[in-house]
Chains A and B, each alone.
Chain A
């Protein structure tokens, strides 16, 4: 079952912050985050495996609340290069190792 992402789209100015949310109605084992530029392959950002885990690099970080079955991606002091579509990917255990992506959040960073 596909996770839900919000917002669907967001427009920022350089230097502004954004939060993208990903949630599921089913128990999650792990959450991945990927970014895709138009016409290109998705690029891996990070994996969160444990409930409560928070990860980050540079100015992009994420958290995973296993009990609430949701994850959030935080982009701070956004740069033009952050523009693209962000997908969360979720894995459910005992479900045939099914790995599915959310519908995506389109982020546009303007100068």
Chain B
């Protein structure tokens, strides 16, 4: 158990619809990342939040949006869904490394939300 909770685990919806994916990070982690993984593909970085603020943006479509709330949970909103949006969406959280060089700590991944758009 990574300590990161994602809901829902599975979601089936139709084209044109809107869905919200939710992520609760590991206790104490301030950073939340969202990744999209299409079938047998790599992990495409979508967006990162740190303590409620957007820190970095990747290849996130304009139809997608995200936010991190004061309690640090995060939501990824996907709208006007297309067939190509079908994928596994991972949320990960991290702290920072200790020692003289501070960097992104180990990423703890949730089990993912599998979205199927029909």
A interface with B by C-beta (< 8 Å): 29-30, 32, 34, 40-44, 47, 49-50, 87, 89, 91, 95-104
Inter-chain CA distance A52–B16, complex, in Å, is 50
Inter-chain CA distance A103–B35, complex, in Å, is 13
Shortest Cβ gap from B39 to chain A (Å): 10
Residue of B nearest to A106 (CB): B40
B interface with A by C-beta (< 8 Å): 2, 31, 33, 35, 42-43, 45, 48, 50, 55-58, 90, 97, 99, 101, 103-112
The residues of B that contact A100 with a CB separation of less than 8 Å are: 45, 58
Contact residue among A34, A50, A97, A104 (Cβ-Cβ distance under 8 Å from B107): A34
Are A98 and B90 touching (Cβ within 8 A)?
no
Residue of A nearest to B43 (CB): A101
The residues of A that contact B103 with a CB separation of less than 8 Å are: 29-30, 47, 49, 91
